[in-house]
Amino acid sequence: MHLESNETSSTASKPSILDQGIVSLAAWLQDRSLPKYRAKQILGWVYQRRAESFEAMTDLPKGLRSELDAAFDFYRTKTIATQNSEDGTQKLLLQLPDGGRIECVLLRDGPRRSICVSSQVGCAMGCVFCASGLDGVERNLTRGEILEQMLKLQRLLPAEERLSHIVMMGMGEPLANLPRVLDALSVAKDSEIGLGISPRRITISTVGLPQSIDKLAEDKSPYHLAISLHAPNDTLRNQLVPVNKKIGIASILEAADRYFDATGRRLTFEYVLLKDLNDSQQCAEQLVKLLRGRTAMLNVIPYNPVPGLPYETPTAEVIHQFRRILMEAGINVMFRQRKGDDIQAACGQLRRLREKEPDLVELKR
């Protein structure tokens, strides 16, 4: 598969309201001799008042609602599968107008309501243990397609609850689609007409693309940066994350340090723990040497098995030993509790399952 140069859905007949900013929407209104202040009302309905249609925007004149409906699409994706976990995790499989499929997840953890959002259809990074990239990448998502995931997940919450955290860690490599990702996140953090989520609660995850990390540093990005390391040396990382052959861990860490120097935002390094591959005492000791002295959090995630792939979760004893080595060395480490194991919540799993079962409409537990 290939990455399309055209960033829009080829089958869409109208522009999406989610691709309109307040400036462009105000200009559209002005062209129709309508007051520009309506733009703020319209976008407030979209992002804050959870409207699902223009007709629901009851404080707008009926004629304007009709014009909006004729000019713009509202939701473009179709929810073709839903999974509900016993731990409160919910996963949606969305189909785009051109047939592409993406996943997004809502995670409940105490008072936190976090969402995991995709940035591409598929993924080109080729991490061998991840379901997202097994079929390659088809194209980047548009700003509107990224935002639509957030809104659909928001609607899973009762009216009195709101989203608290966003993680760009779904399908795809966010830094390979950086302009659209940043455009969508600018709406997510906008407290006036957007979702009003603090940038300190927004994380961009990446396998480590130094040039794009430097771009974030130059722009003094307000977001957390999470780098999916997965190995403490290039030999092993080349095996697990093939794109590393063109990059190298040293270049990634140097770019990460520049990001920290420019933004002051603490770094996070992600490390998926795979049985008999990167879970040894030697790997833990090498990780200590890489990360010691850095203002960073190491987030270790026991592997969430993917049907059809040969990788397994380490034993509890091995995980405990790995943790002990890191903690005794003074590394700031957190072992993340896996969510949604009973619904295959790891990226790309539901998409592949749905392709194998085309008549499946809804999955519930």
Catalytic residue among 104, 123, 127, 347: 347
130 catalytic residue (yes or no): no
Q: Can you read off the two tokens belonging to residue 74?
A: 């509202």
In the numeric block, the tokens 């980047």 are attached to 140
Q: Is 347 a catalytic residue?
A: yes
Amino acid, single-letter form, for residue 122: G
Annotated catalytic residue, options 103, 138, 173, 270: 103
CA distances to 39, 47, 64, 194, 347 from 72, rounded to whole Å, are: 13, 16, 12, 18, 30
Q: Degrees (nearest 5) of the Cα angle 93, 239, 104?
A: 15
CB burial string 29-50: b at 16+ within 10 A, e below? beeeebeeebbebbbbbbbbee
**Token pair listed for 21:** 């900013």
Could you list the active site residues? 103, 347
